[in-house]
Amino acid sequence: MKGYSYLRNVATLHLDQAACTGCGKCEEVCPHQVFSLSGKRAQISNFDACMECGACAKNCPVAAIQVDAGVGCASGIINEWLRERKFLCFGKKNCC
Task: Let me know if domain 14-89 sits in CATH 2.60.40.10.
Answer: no
Count the neighbouring beta carbons within 10 Å of the beta carbon of residue 33. Answer: 14
pLDDT reported for residue 75: 60
pLDDT 10s digits, 28-70: 999 999 999 998 999 999 998 998 889 999 999 999 999 988 7
pLDDT reported for residue 1: 42
pTM over 0.75: no
The whole-number average pLDDT for the span 2-9 is 63
With 80 as the cut, is the pLDDT of residue 5 above it?
no
Number of helical H runs and strand E runs in the chain: 3, 4
37 Cβ neighbours under 8 A, 6+ residues apart: 22, 24, 27, 43
The whole-number average pLDDT for the span 62-90 is 73
